[in-house]
Amino acid sequence: MAADKVLIIGSNGQIGLELAENLRKVYGENNVVCSDVRMLENQIAPFELLDILDVQRLHEIVKKHQITQVYLLAALLSATAEKNPKFAWELNMNGLFHVLDMAKEGIIKKIYWPSSIAVFGPTTPRVHTPQYTIMEPNTIYGISKQAGERYSEYYHQKYGVDVRSIRYPGLIGWKSAPGGGTTDYAVHIYHEALKHQKYECFLSAETTLPMMYMEDAIRATIDLMEAPAEKVKIRSAYNVAGISFNPEEIAASIRKHIPNFSISYQPDFRQAIADSWPQSIDDTRAREDWGWQPKYDLDKMTAVMLENIK
């Protein structure tokens, strides 16, 4: 049987850069093709320039490299999407349709498409949010993720498409910069702590959100994609939990390494987005179905973040 060949779409973003590094270890360097609308100075190869809205170019690349699996990461995140809701809907939905349709036609075999805790909304129970619960997202990003989940499940049930997804919490890593989300503060804070020993946070002190260290998120993604199909019982998207904390708690964790670190608060429009999201997540189904378990807590993540950014 021929080896799996993977295409990452949106490979130069916060998740894509780390995912590419790890998928290259699993499938081999030449079997992971990166693609994005922008090229980096130190771009790893093989790489193709691709706008996911250009369906013809997508087909050309898939054919050229004989791609079997697609990881679709190109999207506008919550804060950026609120500034350009029409385009966010177009990018987040049409990108997914292009890839789902290729799988429906049998051109590709497997899809990974990330969802988000943004699928939940202000009427959702906020603590230990269950897999199945009230979902009334009130951001354009959350609405697009919820619609994407419904479409993914529909394509699986109706056409047998092997599509898999995780509702990521806010992701935190040191190798790449975040791309316009509400949880981005939890990355910026480490850089500012090391540079200036202070940080002005755009969320209030008590805003607790679900978060996860990037290494855990990448491991969850690859574990889900490698799991036997019969174990993947949820084809909308799985809840996964890592760490829940608020700005005051991450600041306290940083102070264990930088005692004079100070934090101040200037909440902006992102506060309303954060207030509509859960504080913690029940990920029982991911643990039961494909063995998910996080490895990082807040202090362990802080130590690794500070050490590496330094």
- Give catalytic residues, as residue numbers: 141
What, of ligand AKB, ligand NAD, none, does residue 216 touch, CB below 5 to 8 Å by kind?
none
Given candidates 181, 242, 247, 294, which one binds ligand AKB under the rule CB under 6 A? Answer: 181
Instruction: Evaluate whether 199 touches 189 at the Cβ level (below 8 Å).
Output: yes
Binding status of residue 15 toward ligand AKB by CB under 6 A: no
- Of 32 and 294, the one with the shorter C-beta distance to ligand AKB is 294
Cα 29 → chain centroid: 22
Mask for 27-66, x = binds ligand AKB (CB under 6 A): ----------------------------------------
Work out how close the CB of 262 gets to ligand NAD at its nearest, in angstroms, rounded to a whole number.
25
Given candidates 9, 72, 117, 286, which one binds ligand AKB under the rule CB under 6 A? Answer: 117
Structure tokens at 256: 């264990």
Burial-class residue 135 by CB neighbours within 10 Å (0-12, 13-18, 19+): middle
Q: What are phi and psi of 87, to 5 degrees?
A: -70, -35
Type and span of the H or E element at 56: helix 55-65
- Of 46 and 255, the one with the shorter C-beta distance to ligand NAD is 46
Which residues make up the interface to ligand NAD (CB under 6 A)? 9-10, 12-16, 36-38, 50-53, 73-75, 77, 91, 114, 116, 168, 170-171, 178-181, 183
Structure tokens at 68: 């079997």
| DSSP E strands, 97-227 | 110-112, 115-116, 162-164, 166-168, 170-172, 198-201, 209-213
Instruction: Evaluate whether 279 touches 170 at the Cβ level (below 8 Å).
Output: no
Work out how close the CB of 184 gets to ligand AKB at its nearest, in angstroms, rounded to a whole number.
7
What, of ligand NAD, ligand AKB, none, does residue 142 touch, CB below 5 to 8 Å by kind?
none
Query: Cα(224)–Cα(219) distance, rounded to whole angstroms?
Result: 8
- Of 147 and 258, the one with the shorter C-beta distance to ligand AKB is 147
Work out how close the CB of 43 gets to ligand AKB at its nearest, in angstroms, rounded to a whole number.
24
Given candidates 13, 121, 170, 278, which one binds ligand AKB under the rule CB under 6 A? Answer: 170
Query: Cα(288)–Cα(127) distance, rounded to whole angstroms?
Result: 20
Instruction: Evaluate whether 307 touches 264 at the Cβ level (below 8 Å).
Output: no
- Of 179 and 278, the one with the shorter C-beta distance to ligand NAD is 179
Chain residues that interact with ligand AKB, rule: CB under 6 A = 77-78, 116-118, 141, 169-170, 181-183
